[in-house]
Amino acid sequence: MKKTNPNKRRGAVLMEFTLAGVAAITSVIATVQLSIGLWHYHTLAYAVHEATRYVASHGRGCTTGTTSCSITIGNIASKFGSDMVGVPLDSLSVTLVTDSGAATTCNPLTVCSTNTTRWPPTSNLDNTAGKRVTITANYASVNSALGIWPGAGSQRFSPLSFSASSTTVILF
């Protein structure tokens, strides 16, 4: 039986790790980034749905009589902020559209946090039961893994754009 000289195999483990390790580390980073992107999309879709439900329950019937539970654009922005956990609100654009087509855009969402305008508006009776409201949101997610890529400093990468929309009818 012939013995192999251990000095001839020196560095083989390092070379094998380099070849396999680069692929493994790249796969792990890609999986983490994909997971973050899916989390951002799911959070965006959830927040849009919840904000639309919130608006649907605060129509004209909500403000008649002795109670006044009307909402403002700032209230809707605050609702988004509480539902968008982990997503930076300065990268989020939200458009509120009434049944008559009147649109209010908050780009970014943070500019509307102090807006005291009532929404849905009373013009064209857009706040009455049976009228539709649509909320659309767009989020530009920047992939942070691209920053560690060799040579990425001089290149510009376009962000991933996620959008979600929800339409519902004002309930009362």
Alpha-carbon distance of 116 to 29, in angstroms, equals 43
Strands 132-141 and 92-98: antiparallel
Task: Classify 130 in phi/psi space as left (phi over 0), alpha (psi -120 to 50) or beta.
Answer: left
Distance set, CA 89 to CA 17, 31, 45, 55 (Å): 41, 24, 14, 20
Residue ranges per structural domain of the chain: 9-169
Q: What is the pLDDT along the chain (172 residues), one digit of tens a residue?
A: 666 666 666 667 888 888 888 888 888 888 888 888 889 999 999 999 999 999 988 876 665 555 567 789 999 999 998 999 888 888 899 999 999 999 999 999 999 999 999 888 888 888 888 899 999 999 988 766 655 555 555 555 667 889 999 999 998 7
